[in-house]
A and B are shown apart, each in its own frame.
Chain A
Amino acid sequence: MSQKQGSGFFEVLQTAKKYPLLVLIALVLCIFLEFWFYNYPPRGVVTEDTLILGSVLGSPLVKFDALWTRIINDDGLMLQLVDESGLATKPDPRARLALASSVRKNLRYTVVNETVIKISLVRPGYDGRGVLNRFSSFVLTRLKELGDENLASQRELVKFKLHTVVERAWVIAAIFRLPGFQELLADKNAFARLYSQSLSAVDNPTIWNKLGWLWLNDQLAIFYAAQNLYRQHFADDLRLLSLFPRSPCLISSPDAPSVPVQPFHQLIFLLMPCAVGLMYFALLIALRQRDAVVVKQ
């Protein structure tokens, strides 16, 4: 057989007997890579949490991007996160800061809709759950604090608006001398009832009374809007609250497992032995060719 012709498959395999170390290296490499990619899949592992922002029927109480920017750039918080989650194994401050920086780079959020946010953390291995749980819990706490504060101030404003509308009606009723109203206006909050009874309350309305009634009619639309707003901020029996709760909450399970980023990551376990096998076979061919030349020389 000439060198130009090459070697048959079984001839190449026979060369393997001459190089037992090579087969050992190939096997060890293959097993090592399989385990390595089992623990550290290419492109890492993603852990996700889904949050619902506190809102007033869909209008978020906190600007999430502003809060995110504030939190994510906080080195102190990041260090606290990596320390508490047990990620930091070295006490060296530089190493801890580098780790914090790596966590920060791989923390992302995606806006699903106006109130639903997904927070994800990509880590090389399956150790991201602890960090993300702590991070999400911190974000939730901050969201709750800020949201409650904002909700309280919005509630004050809504209360004030409703009060103003009712008072305005009371004044109109007083000016236009609507007697039925006068009696009913003892209870300022009974504005709607007052309106429905207005006509029966005024038995022989004068032109002056009618003008007052017309004006009050205008006020009714404003009252209903204000009352609706009031209910949105205060009522606890709204079914929409299940969709848009006033307080932020985490709807994903804190025990949800981390998953590899790559959708077909299992393929790597099949390709790995093939790749190592091909490289091993290639080296055997090369070694056989080299041996042939050496023997002749």
Chain B
Amino acid sequence: MNAADAPDRFSWLWVAFFLLIPAGFPLYSRFVLSDLPAMIIVAGLLLRLIFVSPPKFSIIDAWFLFFVGTSALGREVATVPGAYFFELLAVVFLFACFRAVAEILSSENALSRAFTLVGNSLIFILALNFLAVIVQRTGISPEFASVFFPGNAEKLCWPFQFSGQLGLSLTILFPVCIGSRSFTLPVRLLLYIMFLVNTGATGSRSVFWIALFEIFYAEFFMHKTLSVQKNFMKGLALCCSTGLTLLFFADDFSFQRSMGQIDASPLFFDEPRWNQIRLALRSLPVWLQGLGLGCCDFVFKTEIHNTPLSLIVETGLFGFGAACLFLFEILKAFYQANLQQHHLLKKALAMSLLTICFHAFFRNLVSNRACWLILAFCFSCKNFATRAESRGDRPLEVSR
């Protein structure tokens, strides 16, 4: 699809998809609400590929197909075929969504509109969760707070099943939210406070630290000013608001855990994580073949919370290589793109990619929807003019 063919507005299905992506709303098993419009979109895409225009395979499809191929060679696939096919179906479905998103975002304006929809949805979640945390702290309405802290849990998880999923979604999509438009400084400060409160209440240390980093990145790189005085004042305001937020929630369990003050030392030095890494390293003899996509849970009775390691263990070195090449193609498309009209978008996507890279070492992101959405946003940049094309060079043409 060319930029000229880009729709002025998204259809209601796409609007629903972009609005629901930041929200989890678990339906059944691992299905979430945003999967419903996504399924219709994918079905439409398939029908179009079958009856209207046959599929065109690009290099990104090549590496994905290679990845799927290697995943089928896993040693444990025939032991737990159910787990394998379920995970494979999930990954193929997410890839189909990825392709559909990358195709629909055929212009910078379309990308900007998608940013706005996702950003608005995230602001709504941030605001509602912020309110819930305040209500829980003050004890005004325990019934209202219990919706957001289900099962008397001390961790905020609405609208997801687990607090970790909420933390991931918030930190990966927050740059999209902050880059969706030029907010004024007071609005940004309010957003930062809400964001900090949300991430702190999830009780995840990695999420909280990355949230702090994102806030400073957003303020000093995305919304940078040249004036030293203004920068100083901004820094002061940020530090004060962060400090006040932390002080307000100082005695809260989740916040203390987020700061890494309770029991265990923060981040990497976490015994369960070390155990997972030890288990993964013990499977070194099968790294060439891999265990099979989604088979780690069966073999180790636990998930490996480290995406690269999980990929190596599950799909072997060849699968990991294919995944790396897949990501490389996306990064190449993103790097070469020249977003002339919306400079904030590229910075926001860069921040989201950094966040994904960071989280990849502490979580398994293979089937994370927010992660795939950001990758799709980045890959959609291939539809825009590259930097070379912007300079006036002719695009490469493939001879038949």
B4 close to A (CB within 8 Å): no
A6 close to B (CB within 8 Å): yes
B118 to nearest A CB, angstroms? 24
Cβ of B70: which chain A residues have Cβ within 8 Å of it?
Answer: 275, 279
B398 close to A (CB within 8 Å): yes
In Å, the complex CA distance between A271 and B75 comes to 12
Chain A at the B interface: mostly helix, strand, loop or mixed?
Answer: helix
A39 close to B (CB within 8 Å): no
Asked whether B79 lies within 8 Å of A264 as measured between CB atoms, the reply is: yes
Asked whether B78 lies within 8 Å of A6 as measured between CB atoms, the reply is: no
Binds B, one of A57-65, A144-152, A246-254, A288-296: A288-296
Looking at the complex, which one of B62, B64, B396 makes contact with A293 (CB distance below 8 Å)?
B396
In Å, the complex CA distance between A279 and B64 comes to 9
A89 close to B (CB within 8 Å): no
Asked whether B65 lies within 8 Å of A296 as measured between CB atoms, the reply is: no
List CB contacts (< 8 Å) of B339-397 with chain A.
382-383, 395-397
Cβ of A274: which chain B residues have Cβ within 8 Å of it?
Answer: 69, 72
A179 close to B (CB within 8 Å): no
Annotate B58-97 by CB proximity to A: 1 below 8 A, 0 otherwise: 1101111110111111011111010000000000000000
Q: A12-B57, A43-B75, A43-B76 are in contact. Are A289 and B62 (CB under 8 A)?
A: yes
Asked whether B56 lies within 8 Å of A7 as measured between CB atoms, the reply is: yes
A284 to nearest B CB, angstroms? 8
B95 to nearest A CB, angstroms? 13
Asked whether A286 lies within 8 Å of B62 as measured between CB atoms, the reply is: yes
Q: A276-B69, A295-B399 are in contact. Are A271 and B57 (CB under 8 A)?
A: no
Asked whether B69 lies within 8 Å of A279 as measured between CB atoms, the reply is: yes
Cβ of B56: which chain A residues have Cβ within 8 Å of it?
Answer: 5-8
B400 close to A (CB within 8 Å): yes
Asked whether A278 lies within 8 Å of B78 as measured between CB atoms, the reply is: no
In Å, the complex CA distance between A289 and B68 comes to 20
A272 close to B (CB within 8 Å): yes
Q: A2-B396, A271-B72 are in contact. Are A9 and B79 (CB under 8 A)?
A: no
Looking at the complex, which one of A6, A265, A293 makes contact with B58 (CB distance below 8 Å)?
A6
Cβ of B65: which chain A residues have Cβ within 8 Å of it?
Answer: 278-279, 281-282, 285
A contact residues, range? 35 or more
Asked whether A275 lies within 8 Å of B72 as measured between CB atoms, the reply is: yes
B3 to nearest A CB, angstroms? 12
Cβ of A275: which chain B residues have Cβ within 8 Å of it?
Answer: 69-73
A268 close to B (CB within 8 Å): yes
Asked whether B78 lies within 8 Å of A289 as measured between CB atoms, the reply is: no
A186 close to B (CB within 8 Å): no
- Of A1, A276, A279, which is in contact with the most chain B CB atoms at under 10 Å from its CB? A279
Asked whether A296 lies within 8 Å of B399 as measured between CB atoms, the reply is: yes
B150 to nearest A CB, angstroms? 37
Residue of B nearest to A14 (CB): B400
Cβ of A4: which chain B residues have Cβ within 8 Å of it?
Answer: 58, 382-383, 395
Complex A-B, nearest 6 residue pairs according to Cβ-Cβ distance, in ascending order:
A278-B69, A6-B58, A292-B398, A6-B56, A285-B62, A282-B66
Question: What would 6 more interface pairs be, CB under 8 Å, given A6-B58, A6-B59, A9-B54?
Answer: A2-B395, A8-B57, A262-B78, A264-B78, A283-B66, A289-B59
Supply 19 A–B pairs (Cβ within 8 Å), ascending by A. A1-B398, A6-B61, A8-B54, A8-B57, A9-B54, A9-B55, A33-B73, A42-B78, A264-B81, A265-B78, A267-B77, A271-B72, A278-B72, A283-B66, A285-B58, A285-B61, A286-B63, A293-B398, A296-B397
